[in-house]
Amino acid sequence: MYNDLYKAWKSEKTSEKPQPLPSDFYQRVAGYLKGLEDDCASSDTRTVQGRLLVKEKEMARRLLEELREARLQKIVNAARIGSAISTADLTEEERTLVRNFNESLASFKEQEKKEPQGSQSEGPVELSVVRFLQDIPEIVGVDLKIYGPYKKEDVGSLPSQNAQALVKQGAAKEIEVRGISNRSVEK
């Protein structure tokens, strides 16, 4: 099994697309590694044979990890750019991954179509006027605009959610502005 694992690893490292693997490849490798684990547990690691078993187990694990990572990268990159991958060349686990990834990507793209970029459904942002009790660096408001920086005793208007957070932290005090209710600004 070590030779099969090595050949698969070498083939994967020299190609741009996932190379064909039997659908039960990972299960067979897992069984092989389990056997190595059992052999290592029952052998004396001070002997040459014991040390060789340990080294084989380490190398097999490393090859498997690099093989999986290389295949995963290729699958994700192909899905990201919309390139087709033959699922016949994939293991059962990878087929499931591709199916789930494609479903998630389709759902994400569908959601993106429903919500045009740059528009948010909240509508106008309510502003509050506050007096700053300490120096505040620039902050990004809930409306994604930059506010500040502010010095201690400055007065400024911020989205109400941001203002309330600063008030709760003791960094600002809300100022009631008479004659103006629900001051708001369009995004």
Domain of 174: which CATH number?
3.40.5.50
Highest mean pLDDT among 14-23, 31-40, 71-80, 177-186: 31-40
The domain tally of the chain equals: 2
pLDDT at site 45 = 80
pLDDT at 75 over 90: no
Residues 106, 130, single domain; the answer is: no
**Domain CATH code at residue 86:** 1.20.58.1030
Please report, as a single letter, which amino acid is at residue 165: A
Stronger pLDDT, 82 or 62, i.e. the higher one = 62
Residues 109, 138, single domain; the answer is: no
The conformational region for residue 116 under phi > 0 = left, psi -120 to 50 = alpha, else beta, is beta
Please report, as a single letter, which amino acid is at residue 109: K
In a domain, 148, yes or no: yes
Residue 112 contacts residue 127 (beta carbons within 8 Å): no
Residues 10, 102, single domain; the answer is: yes
From 114, 138, 167, give the residue that closes a domain. 114
pLDDT at 167 over 90: yes
Q: Show the domain range for 134.
A: 125-185
Stronger pLDDT, 178 or 122, i.e. the higher one = 178
From 114, 137, 156, give the residue that closes a domain. 114
- For residue 172, give Cα distances in angstroms to 48, 111, 129, 135, 148: 72, 38, 10, 10, 13
pLDDT at 185 over 70: no
pLDDT digit string (tens) for 27-67?
899 999 999 888 888 888 888 888 888 898 899 999 999 99
Residue 19 contacts residue 86 (beta carbons within 8 Å): no
Residues 131, 103, single domain; the answer is: no
pLDDT digit string (tens) for 96-130?
887 777 777 777 777 777 765 554 445 678 888 99
pLDDT at site 164 = 92
3-state secondary structure of 172: strand
Residues 108, 46, single domain; the answer is: yes
Residues 10, 83, single domain; the answer is: yes
> What is the overall mean pLDDT for the chain?
82
Q: Which of 124, 126, 132 is nearest to 175 (CA)?
A: 132
Task: Supply the pTM of this predicted model.
Answer: 0.52
Q: Which of 72, 70, 74, 92 is nearest to 84 (CA)?
A: 74
pLDDT at site 115 = 61
User: What single string gives the DSSP state of each residue in 110-138?
Assistant: HHHHHS-TT--TT-SEEEEEEEESS-B--
3-state secondary structure of 173: strand
* 74-95: average pLDDT: 78
From 62, 82, 114, give the residue that closes a domain. 114
Residues 102, 177, single domain; the answer is: no
Residues 84, 176, single domain; the answer is: no
pLDDT digit string (tens) for 125-142?
888 899 999 999 888 888
pLDDT at site 180 = 54
In a domain, 47, yes or no: yes
Residues 30, 79, single domain; the answer is: yes
In a domain, 120, yes or no: no
3-state DSSP percent of the chain in helix, strand and coil, to 5: 55, 15, 35
pLDDT at 3 over 70: yes
Residues 97, 66, single domain; the answer is: yes
The conformational region for residue 183 under phi > 0 = left, psi -120 to 50 = alpha, else beta, is beta
